[in-house]
Amino acid sequence: MIKIAPSILSADFLNLESSIKKVLKGADLLHIDVMDGHFVPNISIGLPIVHAIHSKIKIPLDVHLMITNPDQYIEDFAQAGSDILTIHYEVCHHLNRTINHIKSLGVKAFVALNPHTPIFLLSDIVEYLDGVLLMSVNPGFGGQKFIANSISRIQELFNLKKQKNPEMSIAVDGGIHIGNVNKIVEAGANIIVAGSAIFKSDDPLKTIKTMKGTL
């Protein structure tokens, strides 16, 4: 069974609580993109929103730190209610130490890879991870088109998972919709992050159910 993580980057920010509640019955996680305007060319939300969601809505929070210096904020986001913290390989100079720090706080540790960061760079760290988030668009904005060669990257990561960490999750984020989710899951993904396809649909809950029923 795959898990669906709606990305609130595409939610209605003027009515965020009601927008989130529309997907709760079908969602397994809630994906929250934190952007700093430096690592990615956009600024999104921060600690107060994560804390507010955690205090009012009971669903695991998958917090994606798309920021240049994640180590500075790991404890803050853990205390705000994160169940998963995802940090980017591209900005972590001491990745093993950062992963251990996240886990010491009782939070699951995921590492994200941008679309053109090679999979093999995770070979020596993958056994310590709870999951890997593969970006299938260039990070920073919602509503982008899925990058086609992401399928082969998912397959490569799935092979690495089988060899070194069979329990690890593979999440994919970017440009996913009903028309391509089947290929993504077949390639090895078990967590689907989708924003526009869910929140901009006429029936978000039906879209989630359709995605889950693809296999």
CA distance linking residue 110 with residue 168, whole number of Å: 9
Q: How buried is 121 (Cβ within 10 angstroms: 0-12 exposed, 13-18 middle, 19+ buried)?
A: middle
Could you give the count of Cα atoms lying within 13 Å of 81 in the half-sphere of its Cβ?
20
Residues tagged active-site: 33, 173
Per-residue CA distances from 76 to 73, 82, 111, 135, 187 (Å): 5, 9, 18, 24, 35
